Amino acid sequence: MRSVILYTLARAAIFAVTAGVLALFGARGFLLLLLALLISGVVSYVLLSAQRDRMSAVVTRGVRSQREKFEKSVAKEDAPRGRAE
């Protein structure tokens, strides 16, 4: 979970810095947001590659764990029970 939070904070920081630099160069309004989103996306893709891989591994493990718990629960629920006659 920590890697997800760190990745998200890093993406937000890159976006904020990019928007700040663009504002200094005179971009305003919708153009500022659009350019900041595009540029920060490319920068994040390059700079945060290793962090993104770590985050992806954590998310994948979590999903796999939840799926296994669900499948065990379904198997337990579907197991035949002894008849109480």
Predicted confidence at residue 3, as pLDDT, reads 87
Using one digit for the tens of pLDDT, what is the confidence trace for 41-56? Answer: 999 999 999 999 999 9
H/E element, 6: helix 2-24
Tell which wins on pLDDT, 6 or 84. Answer: 6
Instruction: Tell me which long-range contacts 53-59 makes (C-beta under 8 A, separation of at least 24).
Output: 54/3, 54/7, 55/3, 55/4, 55/6, 55/7, 58/1, 58/3, 58/4, 59/4
Predicted confidence at residue 77, as pLDDT, reads 74
32 DSSP 8-state letter: H
Q: Where are the domains of the chain?
A: 2-75
Q: Tell me the whole-structure pTM to 2 decimals.
A: 0.73
- Segment 48-76 shows an average pLDDT of 89
Contact predicate 2/55, CB 8 Å: no
Tell which wins on pLDDT, 25 or 79. Answer: 25
- Segment 20-45 shows an average pLDDT of 95
